[in-house]
Structures are given as C-alpha cells and as structure tokens.
Amino acid sequence: MPLLTIVPPMPGAERRFKPFVAFVQSCGWETEFVQLDWNGDQPNFGSNALFPQVGAQTVGKVVMGFSLGALYSHLGARQARHLILGSISPFFLE
C-alpha cells in the first residue's frame, strides 16, 4: 500500500483532517503526519525554523502540503519523492 505523508499547517491537524484522511485511505493509501515541534504561536511566514523538521521526515516520500503546510513542504521537503501542494478546505469538519 502506498504511503502519503501529510505536512500539517496547524496543531490538531490529525483531528481536523479525519475526512480527508478517510478519503485517502479509501483510495488504498496509508497516511502519516509530519510531527512538528514548536513552542508558542505558529511560526510566521518569514521563519524557516520548521524546514529541517519537515525535511528529515519526508526524504523519499510522497508528501502533501496545504495552506501554511504547503509552504513548509515546498521549502522543507526538498528530498521528497513527490510533492503535492494544494487546499483541502472542503474536507474540514469545522
């Protein structure tokens, strides 16, 4: 089964993205979320502090990023096998 690695744009992404993850899994993919570790508020657009964390967890993987996670993916997942950037807003529960 192929694996899709998801770069989350915010804490709690696993809960908010359940409909999206269920859809991806129904298509025969396994999923995992990149684990981001930061203290305080979400980093601003000028910060590159999370890029090394994204890069280390996405080497050779199929990676999806969206919203702020797309920025982290685009600039941090430089050794990913394939990078998908976009929006999944129709899948949000809230």
Domain boundaries, the chain: 1-26+52-94
Summarised one tens digit per residue, pLDDT across range 8-67 is 767 777 788 888 889 889 999 999 988 888 777 766 667 788 889 889 999 999 988 877
Output the CA torsion 67→69→84→15 (10° steps).
Answer: -90
Name, of 3-7, 23-27, 49-53, 84-88, the range with top average pLDDT: 23-27
Q: What is the pTM of this model?
A: 0.76
